[in-house]
Structure 1
Amino acid sequence: MQLSHLFVFALPFLASASLDEQSVLSSPPNMQSQKSGSDEDYTPMIRPQPTLADLLTIEPSASIYYSYARETELSLDFDTGDQYLTLLVPTNRAVMALARKPHQGPPSTVPIIELSEQQFDEQSKRNVYRWVSAHIIPSRISLSSVPVTYDTLLEGKSVTFIPTSKTGQGSPNWSRVTLEDGSKIISVKQAMNGVLYLIDGTVDPY
């Protein structure tokens, strides 16, 4: 009898409550607390600019370079602000035009020795690391006065920018230089942790 009286008492109370009130009344206590605090506690992460990783992700013509970079720990710095980087990113067409792909390294000058699968994998990783790091300058660069040379992340490897015959008034500095091998800068994109220069050639790490 006591239970039936309680049930009869609750019915008119729920009927008079709003839909929102009914959902709260019928939800377990732990769900009520999560629902009430979820909207207030959530703070979306907002960046003033994309990272280098963001730019590489949405740049279809640089997908091969980024794929190689992700095979190394170097790509971790593309998504942080710990160090300002200047990336010289070859287009897919430039990479595909290479006679030997980045993981293959230079042609051997000594008799070829058969490698085990593990040795081949380790050598390929070293080749990829050299190639990717040769396209990274660990600092800001200025192309307002050329020629100018900057060291890359690859020890002993530097990149020189030289002036071209193009001296159009008002054109950006990057459009008036080439890399030492004749590679041209196609476009430039600014990130919060560096600059991405898309180039129509590659930097030889050897």
Structure 2
Amino acid sequence: MLSARLFLASIASFCTLAAATGQQQPLMAQDGPSPFTASKPDLAALLTRSSKTSMFYDYARDSSTVSKLLAAPWIGSGAKSTVLCPLNSAILALSRKPHQGPPTVDDAGTIISNKMLGGSEEEEKERAAYLEKWVQLHIVTDVVDLDGEVWEGKEWQTLVDERKVSFAVSGENGEGRKVLPGDLEIVGVEEASNGLLLLIAGTLSLEQE
């Protein structure tokens, strides 16, 4: 009986010591500070929680490439992007929505017909490919630092080959920023753990460079 009591007492002492040791365990620190940390929501989360960006996010979720990029963790992968996100109002203002497929254009890139595509399998694929490319046109493959001076006049690559964007100052006092081409005003800026979200009052066009 005495041996059993000593055994139980030893077990209790061990558990108490283990609990105390666990409480004193320091948290692991990350290697160096970063402006894009896991404490911030990722780009997908930012787009989800804003009612002003729901249409673009619905389009983006149809793109496997872009949807993975929006939710990609920055730590470990180094994936960072800038999303040029049109407001819902900007998409609604389009005479032809991106999901309706490409319009008919002349040699100068001017839209001459907004006729809808039919419902054949081939036309469905054409619509999907056009929407994918339209979404990718609004993704810059780096984080744009609009607070510095090096961004002005610089061109930034989008996910669409040979299509780049640049940024310029706007407003009477030069405090605003706009996206070129199109003179699209930037009306909001939010940092994410894996990049930057720029809300724009307009859309980029695949037909007009």
Q: What is the TM-score normalised by the length of structure 2?
A: 0.67
* 8 Å Cα contact 1:167-1:176 kept in structure 2: no
Q: 2:125 aligns with which of 122, 126, 134?
A: 122
* Separation in structure 1 between the aligned mates of residue 61 and residue 171 of structure 2, nearest angstrom: 37
Match of 1:68 in 2: 59
* 8 Å Cα contact 1:162-1:180 kept in structure 2: no
Shift of 1:199: 0.5
Shift of 1:50: 0.5
Whichever residue aligns with residue 204 of structure 1, its letter is: S
* Separation in structure 2 between the aligned mates of residue 137 and residue 183 of structure 1, nearest angstrom: 15
- What secondary structure sits across from 2:52 in the alignment? helix
Match of 1:84 in 2: 80
Match of 1:40 in 2: none
Shift of 1:156: 1.4
Deviations 1:78-108 (A, max 9, x none): 1112310100000000000011111234422
Equivalence map 1:131-146=2 (5 Å): 131-143=134-146, 144-145=148-149, 146=152
Whichever residue aligns with residue 97 of structure 2, its letter is: K
- What secondary structure sits across from 2:98 in the alignment? coil
Equivalence map 1:1-206=2 (5 Å): 47-73=38-64, 74-81=66-73, 82=77, 83-109=79-105, 117-143=120-146, 144-145=148-149, 146-167=152-173, 171=175, 175-206=176-207
Shift of 1:116: 5.5
* Separation in structure 2 between the aligned mates of residue 147 and residue 166 of structure 1, nearest angstrom: 19
- What secondary structure sits across from 1:95 in the alignment? helix
Shift of 1:164: 2.3
Q: What is the TM-score normalised by the length of structure 1?
A: 0.68
> Aligned residues: percent identity?
32
Whichever residue aligns with residue 196 of structure 2, its letter is: V
**Larger gyration radius, structure 1 or structure 2:** 1
* Separation in structure 1 between the aligned mates of residue 105 and residue 173 of structure 2, nearest angstrom: 43
Evaluate the alpha carbon distance shift between residue 116 and residue 101 of structure 1 in structure 2; reply closer, same or farther with a 3 A threshold: closer
- What secondary structure sits across from 2:206 in the alignment? coil
Shift of 1:182: 1.5
Structure 1 unaligned regions, length at least 5:
1-46
Larger strand percent? 2
Shift of 1:121: 1.2
* Separation in structure 2 between the aligned mates of residue 76 and residue 158 of structure 1, nearest angstrom: 21
Whichever residue aligns with residue 173 of structure 2, its letter is: T
* Separation in structure 2 between the aligned mates of residue 109 and residue 79 of structure 1, nearest angstrom: 35
Aligned residue pairs: how many? 156
* Separation in structure 1 between the aligned mates of residue 199 and residue 101 of structure 2, nearest angstrom: 22
Larger helix percent? 1
Evaluate the alpha carbon distance shift between residue 109 and residue 163 of structure 1 in structure 2; reply closer, same or farther with a 3 A threshold: closer
CA RMSD of the aligned region, Å? 2.5
Structure 2 unaligned regions, length at least 5:
1-37, 107-112
